[in-house]
Amino acid sequence: MMKRFVFALIAFSLAGQLWGQEKIKWHTLNEAIEKNSVEPRKFMIDVYTDWCGWCKRMDATTFSNEEIAKYVNANFYAVKFNAEMKDSLTIGQQTYYFVPNGRRGYHEVAAILTKGRLAYPTIVYLDERLRHLKVDPGYKTAEQLQAALVYYYKEKYKDDQNDTSGM
């Protein structure tokens, strides 16, 4: 009886820790753009598809990492964008649509975000003015993503642009 009680206590304790874990606050693209007009931040956009195994793995590992979640939530607008979304999307005065292509297709916004390189998963970094900083295709570990997040948040790319040491 005591063993069951101790086991149940440990199980509830672990469940409580998991429920309390910080998660990335994902936004729609329009929500993030609206929030950005009030409080400017950079964007981290996860361009994914429902069938992509590596996308699901990133959700289960990289994006569920509590340190990643804390950093993203504090410094970026995180957007999940389904590259095969069928609904039209209006941003400002422009409406974008799904484009049928073979057995699947793609959303025009996904093509714009990835600069036409439709590979999944792809993380797109935008600055506060919605200008592309980087289109970064492929699965990322938490360590790889953390390094990229710090690089873009701390604007280290500006140092690289000013480096005139040559190649």
pLDDT per residue as tens digits for the range 2-39: 555 444 445 444 544 555 689 999 999 999 999 999 99
Q: Which pTM does this prediction carry? A: 0.83
Structure-block tokens of residue 81: 């964008």
The mean pLDDT of 81-102, rounded to a whole number, is 95
Structure-block tokens of residue 16: 């409580």
**Architecture of the domain delimited by 23-156:** 3-Layer(aba) Sandwich (3.40)
**Cβ–Cβ under 8 Å, residues 80 and 122:** no
In percent, how much of the chain has pLDDT > 70?
84
Choose among 125, 127, 121, 144: nearest CA to 65.
Answer: 144
